[in-house]
């Protein structure tokens, strides 16, 4: 769970020091009415990669309703400026907030690294959960040697958020980060295996994981983009069994469950199977075709609602929850 801590601590470092804030925020919404507990959880990403996180969330919290928004018209976020990423993230969150969600999950490492502060400030007291810190914490629990490699988008790698988060948990860690933008394209196209994918993987990671001497090589790879889990089987073959691959989806699901409990927002058990609404900003057919790979089950294009995020004002608390005037 990533929540903003007062005093300027970077967003990626908040997981270990957020409990006082959870308590303060809980006093504002701990008396949630039953109808609030039954509200949906909003999840957004720059495209379909966040469906890997959504898959873990729905498996861990089967009673909850979810609304997923993929900003497919503006993907990928990873090549955009920090200002653009913050603006896009605020607009996506505003569109979800307008639908009455009780919690926001930022299922995008780039947005978690760049826009989490702005999202928490804008939507308080609604809890905001990111994916970056759970992944960093999982890497620190997994590594035996303290040598960790993070592969991510250009923006996430350039910002250094993963290094800060890992060093907060494990100060002695040796962290190397590499931008792998072509992995996003491979995942979006469904080219998750085969000679092309493997050749690109070798080009990106071979020099980061030298075979000799093995004791000096990293032993943990963090998938620092929600598009990358669909490439994990191929990466596992390229790297071999001595390298553990860390995906933040499962740990994000655990963090979300903790947030819901802390704020008394968990839907009553036995409420029946949760419902899922899928939103995109462009290309319902493509979203459905590619999204099934990430979600792990078929997606019908008729289930995907197209929304216009340009109708939402970013960064103005008084108006962000409703469409802007024409």
Q: For this structure, is 225 an active site residue?
A: yes
Check 103, 108, 140, 180 and give the catalytic one: 108
My answer on whether omega of the bond before 156 falls inside 30° of 0, hence cis, is no
Residue with tokens 């609404």: 277
- Of 213, 219, 53, whose CA–CA distance to 142 is shortest? 219
Buried b (16+ CB within 10 A) or exposed e, 289-323: ebbbbbbeeebeeeebeebebeebbbeeeeebbee
Check 103, 140, 180, 225 and give the catalytic one: 225
Let me know how many helices (H) and strands (E) the chain has, helices first: 13, 10
Q: For this structure, is 108 an active site residue?
A: yes
Q: Are 155 and 85 in contact (CB under 8 A)?
A: yes
Q: How many CB atoms lie within 10 A of CB 181?
A: 16
**Integer Cα distance of 187 and 189 in angstroms:** 5
- Dihedral in degrees, nearest 10, Cα atoms 282, 288, 291, 296: 160
Instruction: Give catalytic residues, as residue numbers.
Output: 108, 225
């Amino acid at each position: 769970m990533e929540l903003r801590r007062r005093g300027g601590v970077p967003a990626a470092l908040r997981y270990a020091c957020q409990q006082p804030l959870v308590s303060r925020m809980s006093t504002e919404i701990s008396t949630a009415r039953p109808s609030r507990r039954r509200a949906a959880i909003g999840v957004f990403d720059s495209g379909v990669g966040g469906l890997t996180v959504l898959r873990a969330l729905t498996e861990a919290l089967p009673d909850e309703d979810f609304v997923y928004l993929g900003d497919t018209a503006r993907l990928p976020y990873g090549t955009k400026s920090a200002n653009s990423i913050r603006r896009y993230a605020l607009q996506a969150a505003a569109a979800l907030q307008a639908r009455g969600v009780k919690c926001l999950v930022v299922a995008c490492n780039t947005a978690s690294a760049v826009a989490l502060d702005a999202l928490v400030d804008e939507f308080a007291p609604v809890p905001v959960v990111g994916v970056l810190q759970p992944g960093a914490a999982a890497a620190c629990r997994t590594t035996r040697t303290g040598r960790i490699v993070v592969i991510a988008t250009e923006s996430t790698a350039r910002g250094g958020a993963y290094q800060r988060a890992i060093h907060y948990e494990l100060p002695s860690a040796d962290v190397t980060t590499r931008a792998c933008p072509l992995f996003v394209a491979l995942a979006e196209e469904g080219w998750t295996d085969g000679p092309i994918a493997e050749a690109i993987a070798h080009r990106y990671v071979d020099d980061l994981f030298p075979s000799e001497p093995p004791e000096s090589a990293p032993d943990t790879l963090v998938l620092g983009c929600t598009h990358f889990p669909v490439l994990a089987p191929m990466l596992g073959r390229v790297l071999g069994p001595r390298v553990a691959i860390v995906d933040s989806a499962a740990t994000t699901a655990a963090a979300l469950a903790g947030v819901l409990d802390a704020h008394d927002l968990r839907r009553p058990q036995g409420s029946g199977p949760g419902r899922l609404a899928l939103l995109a900003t462009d290309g319902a057919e493509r979203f459905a075709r590619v999204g099934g790979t990430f979600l792990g089950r078929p997606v019908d294009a008729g289930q995907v609602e197209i929304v216009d995020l340009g109708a939402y004002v970013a960064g103005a608390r008084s108006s962000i929850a409703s469409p802007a005037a024409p």
